[in-house]
Structure 1
Amino acid sequence: MNVVVRAQAEQLAALGHRVRIITRRTHAAQQAEHEWTPGVVVRHLDAGPARLLAKGEHEALIGSFGAALREQLGEDPADLIHAEHWYSGLAALPAARSLGVPLVQSYHSIAAGDDTPLEAGERPEAPGRLAGERRLAHEADLVVTVSEAEKSTVLQRLGGDPDRVRVVPPGVDTRVFRPCTEGERQDRAARIARGGLPEVLVAGRLHPLKGFDLAIAALAELPDERRPALRIVGDSPPDGDDYASLLHDAVAAAGMLGTTSFDGALRRSELAERLRRAALVLIPSHSETFGLVALEAAASGVPVVARATGGLCEAVDDGATGLLLDGEDPADWAAAIERLLGDPALAERMGREGRRRALERSWRVSTDTLVAVYRELLRR
């Protein structure tokens, strides 16, 4: 979500629009306002304690953040409000109505009940989430989703109106996320020739929804002499690190401590460097509204092995830019990993095709689509 918001805000500003990103103060030293980039101002409003909170704690602050937002927009009006995630939408809805400003809602993830399978989506970490998301599907002036899969969820699970839902796929920065240069390629080949291992990468929150335990189990299926290194990029969410502990235990139990690294959260430039040096990227997520890592891997010229679920079926073209797998049998995932690692020509073809398609999916293209959606709403 943060990547999408930042990239589209920067592109909107480059197109001449005035953008304000309004968020909650999470540290006492944060300035009330600062210019992120020319044309984009970030404003921090006081609502609740000035510290990072677990996701579930935000529900209690919807009212206070909404009141501060209403005051802010009363002093400095906007033509349109775009709420990102459900609690921002519920906070913005009364302000939008009282000021007569249209409200656009994006979810980025949608809750599923505790009794539904993981592939249905996020667990509702706050009691009011499911009801809040349904309310926004009915009351926001427009809902913007990142994929056709997410649109279907809004329509079917939340009861949204198809006439008020638009799909705006995310983009990718193809300058930051790029394939290896010839020199980098030669360095990687020389490292492997000296006994180094090809790398398989997973990236995202250390959360059960991401399915990183399946990546570990899949690599554990491979014989020691053919097992690649596993690089895990990401941190635990603020509300707990139980899953991270489970992953560390699984690595130890599989005897993979010497070939697995936990890199934590990385800057975009650091993630891009790790991606382009990887032999392939695994995305075993139970649910993804889109799967931005798949597009970033494609831009890096790296094939993807992903679960055939949600937006990943739109982000990965099975057989062309990667492989899509049903189910979670580690042996099936291990076979797909071996297939690509054992066929460099196939992996290279997929990488080239992924890069070609990524070049057609810039953030400018994504933002042009978003602007067209905004203009359609404002004309109404």
Structure 2
Amino acid sequence: MRILFVSPFDFSYPGGVNEHILHLDAEYRKLGHQTRILAPRSPGEAESDDGHLIKLGVAVPVPTNGSTARITLSPFVSGKVRELLQRERFDIVHLHEPLAPMLPQLALLHSRSINVGTFHAARSRNWGYLSAKPLLGLLFAKLHGRIAVSPAALESIARYFPGYYELIPNGIDTERFRPDVPPVQQFGRPTVLFVGRFNESRKGLRYLLEALVLVRREFPDVLLLVVGPGDPERFQRIIERGELQDNVRFVGAVPDDVLPSYYTACDVFCAPATGAESFGIVLLEAMASGRPVIASDIRGFRFVLRHGVEGLLVERKNPDALAVALVHLLADAALRERLGKAGRFRAQQFSWPVIAQRTLAYYERLLRGVREAETALPLDWWSSLRVALRAWSRRV
């Protein structure tokens, strides 16, 4: 098949949606499908087409859902999108966040292919969907197939645009994240890991820091590793007040090939997010690495992690509950091992080859349905015409 992936987000910046596209793209190319990717370009970067990745429209930062989305708002690339679709004649146009400005909307507007939309985000309210629902409804009607990556994402979109959605989750690279990856170093002390853009309040780092003050009573030398982009100065007051200077280490962003070695260096992984998480990729990364997980009991995380099986779910925004869970796991090596093994087994069910095959099977069902409808159409029209002629003759 000829498949076009469309992302609303600047491909120069890492993110869950772009990672999802890259993995599906790689899996399909292995299987012999012809794939291309359409995404916005970074400021100062020229429009380009290297035969695989096409960059159109300048991305600008837009605050959304407690984070920052780098999307293009320019409608002036509409003609170029239309020319691309007419020239390439894709079998499948797979749009990620298909109602997001501006590339997915333009591609959906001009597409004459089978259109599949994957919805990733989970939020309690979407003012964009609410205010532009009449116009977005016209684009939504052009989707032949709709995918939600989790029940939380499904609930978020179906609130505004009800209908059938195939549930196909995000995936994990189980070859990259493995229990036998050599750790970045042996810290020789109880070690907790946090991974994420910690400046975003929805990631919940402040609650983990407050919990760490309580954990120190049982484990004075506990170490929290904070991996990801952000400004540590924002948390300096909490650290000083809790006397955590020797217990917290801000690592910063690390290269993709180094990240797995941080997971295997920790005893427990903690994701204290407060909400607006549709899935929880970092949970899967930790589970694939064979590490037990403590996470907030929010819907996006419950889809991935089962309480007491692969880890522990605790009340969100509750440092006391986080502290109890952390002490419990840090004190019980056998429990950590059992949860870690169960996590590795579950993560394999989310491996990218498995997710790619499920998505591909959905494409094939949609293509088969459209072909059957096209085959039946002339007969339906002929039947309708005969009924109309009989009715006309009776009136005459």
Tell me the TM-score range normalised by the shorter chain.
0.7 to 0.9
Contact 2:213–2:242 at 8 Å: present in 1 too?
Answer: yes
Equivalent residue number for residue 235 of structure 1: 229
Query: Following TM superposition, by how much is the alpha carbon of 1:13 offset from its aligned partner in structure 2, in angstroms?
Result: 1.0
Q: Which amino acid aligns with 2:48?
A: A
Matched, 1:203 2:219: no
Task: Trace 1:82-161 onto structure 2 (pairs within 5 A).
Answer: 82-85=94-97, 88=100, 91-113=103-125, 128=128, 130-131=130-131, 135=137, 139-155=142-158, 157-161=159-163
Equivalent residue number for residue 251 of structure 2: 263
Query: Following TM superposition, by how much is the alpha carbon of 1:30 offset from its aligned partner in structure 2, in angstroms?
Result: 5.6
Deviations 1:88-127 (A, max 9, x none): 56543454344422322223214434xxxxxxxxxx6xx6
Rounded to whole Å, the distance in 2 between the matches of 1:253 and 1:31 is 50
Contact 2:99–2:105 at 8 Å: present in 1 too?
Answer: no
Equivalent residue number for residue 167 of structure 1: 167
Rounded to whole Å, the distance in 2 between the matches of 1:225 and 1:286 is 26
Equivalent residue number for residue 64 of structure 1: 76
Matched, 1:273 2:273: no
Report SS of the residue matched to 1:282: strand
TM-score normalised per structure 2: 0.78
Matched, 1:53 2:61: yes
Contact 2:329–2:336 at 8 Å: present in 1 too?
Answer: yes
Task: Trace 1:288-367 onto structure 2 (pairs within 5 A).
Answer: 288-367=277-356
CA spacing shift, 1:324–1:99, aligned 2, 3 Å: closer
Rounded to whole Å, the distance in 2 between the matches of 1:351 and 1:251 is 29
Q: Which amino acid aligns with 1:213?
A: R
Q: Which amino acid aligns with 1:82?
A: H
Residue among 45, 49, 52 paired with 1:33: 49
Contact 2:206–2:235 at 8 Å: present in 1 too?
Answer: yes
Equivalent residue number for residue 79 of structure 1: 91
Equivalent residue number for residue 252 of structure 1: 240
Equivalent residue number for residue 282 of structure 1: 270
Deviations 1:229-286 (A, max 9, x none): 11112224xxxx7xx6533432233221222122222222221110111111111112
Q: Which consecutive residues of structure 1, in runs of 5 or more, have no partner in the other structure?
A: 36-40, 114-123
Contact 1:107–1:145 at 8 Å: present in 2 too?
Answer: yes
Contact 2:183–2:263 at 8 Å: present in 1 too?
Answer: no
Rounded to whole Å, the distance in 2 between the matches of 1:58 and 1:356 is 35
Larger-Rg structure: 2
Q: Which consecutive residues of structure 2, in runs of 5 or more, have no partner in the other structure?
A: 1-16, 371-396
Residue among 20, 26, 31 paired with 1:4: 20
Q: Which amino acid aligns with 1:21?
A: I
CA RMSD, Structure 1 to Structure 2 (Å): 2.8
CA spacing shift, 1:93–1:338, aligned 2, 3 Å: same
Report SS of the residue matched to 1:311: helix
Rounded to whole Å, the distance in 2 between the matches of 1:111 and 1:318 is 23
More helix per residue: 1
Report SS of the residue matched to 2:22: helix
Query: Following TM superposition, by how much is the alpha carbon of 1:25 offset from its aligned partner in structure 2, in angstroms?
Result: 1.5
Contact 1:84–1:108 at 8 Å: present in 2 too?
Answer: yes
TM-score normalised per structure 1: 0.81
Rounded to whole Å, the distance in 2 between the matches of 1:110 and 1:278 is 29
Q: Which amino acid aligns with 1:19?
A: T
Rounded to whole Å, the distance in 2 between the matches of 1:27 and 1:261 is 33
CA spacing shift, 1:80–1:88, aligned 2, 3 Å: farther
Rounded to whole Å, the distance in 1 between the matches of 2:349 and 2:43 is 39
Report SS of the residue matched to 1:269: coil
Query: Following TM superposition, by how much is the alpha carbon of 1:209 offset from its aligned partner in structure 2, in angstroms?
Result: 1.5
How many pairs does the alignment contain?
343
Q: Which amino acid aligns with 2:353?
A: R
Rounded to whole Å, the distance in 2 between the matches of 1:27 and 1:86 is 23
CA spacing shift, 1:130–1:215, aligned 2, 3 Å: farther
Q: Which amino acid aligns with 1:10?
A: A
